[in-house]
Structure 1
Amino acid sequence: MLNAQVKTGTPAKPLAALQQEFVADRFGMFIHFNIPTYMDQDWADPEASPAIFNPTKLNCDQWAKAAKSANMSYGCITTKHHSGFCIWDTKTTDYSVMHSPLKRDVVKEYADAFRKNGLKVYLYYSILDTHHQLRPNAITPKHIQMVKAQITELMSNYGKIDALIIDGWDAPWSRISYDDVPFDEIYLLIKSLQPNCVVMDLNGAKYPAEGMYYTDIKTYEMGAGQRISTESNHMPALACLPLQQNWFWETSHPNTPVKDPVKLVNETLIPLNKANCNFILNVAPNRDGLMDENALAALKTIGSMWKNDKAPVTLPELDAPIISSNLAKHQYANSSWSDDSEIMDFANDDDFGSSWVSNKSVKNPWYEVAFKKDQAINTIVIAERKANISNYKLEYFAEGAWKTLFNGENTKKIKVHRFNRVWASKVRMSIDKAQHQVSIAEFQVYNERR
Structure 2
Amino acid sequence: MLRSFRLRLLHLSCLLLPAGLLAQTTKVAPPAPVLPLPTPQQLAWHEMEMNAFVHFTTNTFTDLEWGYGDEQPAIFNPTQTDAGQWARTLKETGFKTMILTCKHHDGFCLWPSKYTEHSIKHSPYKNGKGDIVREASDACKKYGLKFGVYLSPWDRNRADYGSPSYVTYYRNQLKELFTQYGPVFEMWFDGANGGDGYYGGARERRRINGATYYDWPTTLQMVRGIQPNVIFFSDAGPGVRWVGNERGVAGETNWNTISTDTLYAGKPNINTLLNTGSPDGKQWVPAEVDVSIRPGWFYHAKEDSEVKTPEELFDIYLTSVGRGSTLLLNVPPDRRGLFHENDVKALRGFAALLKKEFAKNLALKAPVKADSYRGKQPAFAARNLTDGNKATYWATDDDKTTGNFEITLPANSTVQYIVLQEYIKLGQRVKTFTVEAWQDGDWKKITEGTTIGYKRILKIAPTKTNKIRVNITDAKACPVISNVEIY
**TM-score normalised over the length of structure 1:** 0.60
Letter in 2 for 1:273: V
Match of 2:309 among 235, 260, 267: 260
Shift of the alpha carbon at 1:262?
1.3
Q: Which position in structure 1 is the counterpart of 2:148?
A: 122
Q: Say whether residues 1:166 and 2:218 are aligned partners.
A: no
Q: Say whether residues 1:295 and 2:295 are aligned partners.
A: no
SS at match of 2:148: strand
Shift of the alpha carbon at 1:140?
1.3
Q: Which position in structure 2 is the counterpart of 1:190?
A: 223
Q: Which position in structure 2 is the counterpart of 1:270?
A: 318
Match of 1:230 among 221, 242, 252: 252
Q: Which position in structure 2 is the counterpart of 1:245?
A: 295
* Inter-partner Cα distance in structure 2 for 1:133 and 1:15: 40
Q: Which position in structure 1 is the counterpart of 2:104?
A: 81
Summarize the alignment of residues 45-444 of structure 1 with structure 2, pairs less than 5 Å apart: 45-102=68-125, 103=128, 104-133=130-159, 135=161, 139-168=162-191, 176-201=209-234, 203=235, 213-220=236-243, 222-223=245-246, 228-235=250-257, 236-254=286-304, 256-265=305-314, 267-306=315-354, 312=390, 314-315=423-424
Question: Once the two structures are superposed, what CA deviation does each residue of 1:78-132 show, in whole Å capped at 9, x if it has no partner?
Answer: 0000010000121110000011111201000001001100111111110000100
Greater helix fraction, Structure 1 or Structure 2: 2
Q: 1:176 to 1:52 in 2, by over 3 A?
A: farther
Q: Which position in structure 2 is the counterpart of 1:24?
A: 47
Q: 1:179 to 1:24 in 2, by over 3 A?
A: same
Shift of the alpha carbon at 1:221?
5.5
Q: 1:69, 1:299 within 8 Å by CA — same for their partners in 2?
A: no
Q: 1:171 to 1:66 in 2, by over 3 A?
A: farther
Shift of the alpha carbon at 1:215?
2.2
Letter in 2 for 1:92: Y
* Inter-partner Cα distance in structure 2 for 1:246 and 1:73: 22
Shift of the alpha carbon at 1:29?
1.4
Q: 1:218 to 1:66 in 2, by over 3 A?
A: same
Q: 1:49 to 1:264 in 2, by over 3 A?
A: same
Shift of the alpha carbon at 1:172?
9.9
Q: 1:249, 1:284 within 8 Å by CA — same for their partners in 2?
A: yes
* Inter-partner Cα distance in structure 2 for 1:166 and 1:37: 20
SS at match of 2:167: helix
Shift of the alpha carbon at 1:281?
0.8
SS at match of 2:351: helix
* Inter-partner Cα distance in structure 2 for 1:305 and 1:58: 29
Shift of the alpha carbon at 1:133?
4.1
Q: 2:57, 2:108 within 8 Å by CA — same for their partners in 1?
A: yes
SS at match of 1:306: helix
Question: Once the two structures are superposed, what CA deviation does each residue of 1:334-361 show, in whole Å capped at 9, x if it has no partner?
Answer: xxxxxxxxxxxxxxxxxxxxxxxxxxxx
Shift of the alpha carbon at 1:317?
6.1
* Inter-partner Cα distance in structure 1 for 2:68 and 2:254: 41
Q: 1:169, 1:178 within 8 Å by CA — same for their partners in 2?
A: no
SS at match of 1:222: coil
Question: Once the two structures are superposed, what CA deviation does each residue of 1:201-222 show, in whole Å capped at 9, x if it has no partner?
Answer: 1x2xxxxxxxxx4421122253
Q: 1:141 to 1:172 in 2, by over 3 A?
A: closer
* Inter-partner Cα distance in structure 2 for 1:132 and 1:29: 28
* Inter-partner Cα distance in structure 2 for 1:66 and 1:280: 15
Q: 1:311 to 1:116 in 2, by over 3 A?
A: farther
* Inter-partner Cα distance in structure 1 for 2:316 and 2:423: 20
Letter in 2 for 1:48: E
Q: 1:26 to 1:134 in 2, by over 3 A?
A: farther
Structure 1 unpaired stretches of 5+:
1-13, 204-212, 320-411, 413-450
Q: 1:311 to 1:44 in 2, by over 3 A?
A: farther
* Inter-partner Cα distance in structure 1 for 2:301 and 2:116: 29
Q: 1:56 to 1:69 in 2, by over 3 A?
A: same
Q: Which has the larger radius of gyration?
A: 2
Structure 2 unpaired stretches of 5+:
1-36, 197-206, 258-285, 362-387, 391-421, 429-475, 477-487
SS at match of 1:246: coil
Q: 1:84, 1:129 within 8 Å by CA — same for their partners in 2?
A: yes
Shift of the alpha carbon at 1:175?
5.5
Shift of the alpha carbon at 1:171?
8.8
* Inter-partner Cα distance in structure 2 for 1:317 and 1:140: 44
Q: Which position in structure 1 is the counterpart of 2:262?
A: none
* Inter-partner Cα distance in structure 2 for 1:239 and 1:134: 33
* Inter-partner Cα distance in structure 2 for 1:64 and 1:275: 26
SS at match of 2:243: strand
Q: 2:288, 2:328 within 8 Å by CA — same for their partners in 1?
A: yes
Q: 2:248, 2:316 within 8 Å by CA — same for their partners in 1?
A: no
* Inter-partner Cα distance in structure 2 for 1:298 and 1:25: 20
